[in-house]
């Protein structure tokens, strides 16, 4: 993977992460690096979903970078999972 590809992946991750956070209501106190990570993870999830649904890039494996649209959908899924996981930890800490 070249430096240019990594930079593009980070920029797409940043955009997808910000859009996902804007589309899903509720507070998300995340730093910019966490938002980029959310978008990059979303891109992997979106690429995997695209592979499962459409069978594209089957010769290259299941985890493929996806389009910005797929990245946003994946980032929304990742954000909801993140919230569910953090929410459970917060509730269990309050009860004890």
Burial 43-77 (b: 16+ CB within 10 A, else e): bbbbbbbbbeeeeeeeeeeeebbbeeebbbbbbbb
Q: What is the pLDDT along the chain (96 residues), one digit of tens a residue?
A: 688 878 888 888 889 999 999 999 888 778 888 888 998 898 888 878 877 887 665 455 545 555 788 888 999 999 999 888 886 665 554 444
For residue 94, the model assigns a pLDDT of: 47
32 contacts: CB under 8 Å, gap ≥ 6: 14
Q: In which element (H, E) is residue 10 found? A: helix 3-23
For residue 43, the model assigns a pLDDT of: 85
Per-domain residue ranges for the chain? 3-95
Rounded Cα distance, 33 and 51, in Å: 27
Q: What share of the chain is helix, strand, coil (3-state, %, to 5)?
A: 80, 0, 20
For residue 62, the model assigns a pLDDT of: 46
């Amino acid at each position: 993977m070249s430096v240019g590809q990594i930079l593009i992946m980070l920029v797409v991750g940043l955009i997808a992460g910000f859009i996902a956070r804007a589309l899903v209501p509720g507070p998300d106190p995340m730093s910019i690096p966490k938002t980029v990570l959310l978008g990059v993870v979303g891109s992997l999830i979106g690429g995997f979903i695209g592979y499962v649904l459409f069978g594209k890039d089957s010769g290259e494996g299941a985890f493929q970078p996806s389009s910005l649209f797929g990245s946003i959908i994946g980032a929304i899924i990742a954000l909801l999972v993140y919230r569910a996981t953090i929410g459970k930890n917060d509730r269990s800490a309050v009860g004890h």
